[in-house]
Structure 1
């Protein structure tokens, strides 16, 4: 699912939780039903807020908690982990290759191209990306949490 927000919108915890309520939660009910699933996010400020973490705890069967503050090592996820985020290590490069091969005259053109590229990502491709995760996790452990690739 790809969601665009107005470029002037500041994604604070309230906007983020509204987006989760409006989009993520209904989508997961449709896709997973009663099956277990895990939600992963990065360390953006709106994601780290205690209120957001409480919301996720209440609405997701499982989620990977992030540090709530740089002084608090209370999360389960490395704070800067693009090597372990499927969006960062795979999806963004697919979207960039497909949607940004040529310049766009305006933002709407870019959005259309991104939506088209997003919809062209096959289930097979997504399965391969997810199946690659354990190997990437082992590489991260072998690198003592440092960058690898």
Structure 2
């Protein structure tokens, strides 16, 4: 069905999982953006984009630094959990 050039040659374990536990945006920043930018309906995609940009600019640098600094600890927790879910604390 598919030509051999389009078939994946990777084996299980070579491709990292798409885990929100290991994505700074997912475990820290998106909730802030959602609360700020999505608190009201938008009339267009452009309006939503502008609202998200405004919300991004309001995030204090300390919040971003804290999320980035927390990453090594979250990575270790994920390793300790055997790649499973890590509670957000």
Shorter-chain-normalised TM-score: which range? 0.7 to 0.9
Structure 1 runs (4+) greater than 4 angstroms displaced: none
C-alpha distance after superposition, 1:96-136 (max 9, x if no partner): 11100111122121111001001111211111001111221
Decide whether aligned partners of structure 1 residues 98 and 70 sit closer, same or farther in structure 2, where only a CA change above 3 A counts: farther
Structure number with larger C-alpha Rg: 2
- Ranked by relative contact order (alpha carbons within 8 Å, sequence separation 6 or more), the top structure is 2
Structure 2: which 5+ runs fail to align?
1-7
Across the two proteins, how many residue pairs are aligned to each other? 79
Structure 1: which 5+ runs fail to align?
1-68
TM (norm. structure 1) is: 0.48
Which structure features the higher share of helix residues? Answer: 2
